[in-house]
Structure 1
């Protein structure tokens, strides 16, 4: 996106009725940061000031560092999933639907290209990776961890299980396909592989009711 186009976008945002000034500036800054990220350019204060038209002071009033700002920009388009229904239907189906139900990265809130750019940036910068985990990714795991804890409490899952570890295990099935194998979740074979791997893990998590 050109600088002129971004400035027009910022103007349109600022003119929106009823939008607080702080929210306008925040969106303007994130739009500029995302433009730099999508173009493969380093997100520096100087570049961001030039691209967004927002002052350095305005940037640092909202984010304590460029690392936290980039983490916020990478998360634009993502939302915290709703709570998993715990009392209706089968817990296994509900948990699996949360992990692989969308069959695509875009279903999670943004394009596959941006997803891969996120992975590239995070893997190249441990500080960014840690900040992104703490401020964004960990929040999206809460519904899944809560559902697993509920399964333990109800005696569906083994009592000694740790919900956080189980979440790592189950989510890792999907991430391995996308990040390590370079697959697409829209491929039926990949989706079937995730289902099979999920079933293996889930059987190991089930409580012994014998």
Structure 2
């Protein structure tokens, strides 16, 4: 499901080749120069297009960087009907893999600052996450609570926020950016202690 923010009047169909080139250029440049020094002009030059073409597709740099850092096809948890413990581990692994990508690590500091100060951007970012990884996680946890597989009263949103927050803090604490399988098991174990029925 695409969640690109589109602007401008209806006209001829968008050229997906331009979209791909712009997103690829954005991903490369944010890793090379960082979020603060990234410009739409540099992205346009690298992608072989114009600033006007980019602004027809994305309202601003933050929207574009967010889509490049967290694409619709990023790895996500496979929320199924297997054991809840396996799905929780899958959630932790997916979050680790998404936030550990070099583009995400380079983009997050600047994106977080902009998201806090821009309610429209905040809504767009949340919509992208909820349409993908967070939405799948939420559905699985909601089913688990309803079926008695998880404790009554468990809030899926709080659990998701715990996974995301723990992952971000762990990456900040580890300059090498390595969150290994032992870390996944430790976090998943803590979550499952509070999630599974006694």
| 2:106 equivalent in structure 1 | 117
Q: With the length of structure 2 as denominator, give the TM-score of the two structures.
A: 0.72
Aligned-pair CA distance for 1:117: 0.6
Aligned length: 179
Larger Rg: 1
Cα deviations by residue, 1:108-159 (Å, 9 ceiling, x for unpaired): 4x97432321223324433588367324333311111111111101112122
Q: 1:8 is matched with which residue? A: none
The answer on whether the counterparts of 1:177 and 1:184 sit within 8 Å (CA) in structure 2 is no
1:130 and 2:125 correspond = no
Would the aligned equivalents of 1:45 and 1:66 in 2 still touch at CA under 8 Å? yes
1:47 matches 2:32: no
Question: CA 1:196–1:31 in structure 2 vs 1: closer, same or farther (change >3 Å)?
Answer: closer
Partner of 1:179: 172
Number of the residue aligned with 1:3 = none
Deviations along 1:176-199, whole A, 9 cap, x unmatched? 32233445123xxxx324423322
TM-score normalised over the length of structure 1: 0.69
Q: In the alignment, which residue of structure 1 is the partner of 2:186?
A: 196
| RCO comparison, higher one (Cα < 8 Å, 6+) | 2
Unaligned ranges ≥5, structure 2: 1-12
Match of 2:17 in 1: 24
Query: Aligned pair in 2 of structure 1 residues 74, 200: CA closer, same or farther (>3 Å)?
Result: closer
1:38 offset after TM fit, Å? 2.2
Residue in 2 that maps onto 1:72:
67
What's the secondary structure of 2:15's corresponding residue? helix
Confirm or deny: 8 A CA contact 2:84 2:144 kept in the other structure: yes
Q: 1:39 to 1:100 in 2, by over 3 A?
A: closer
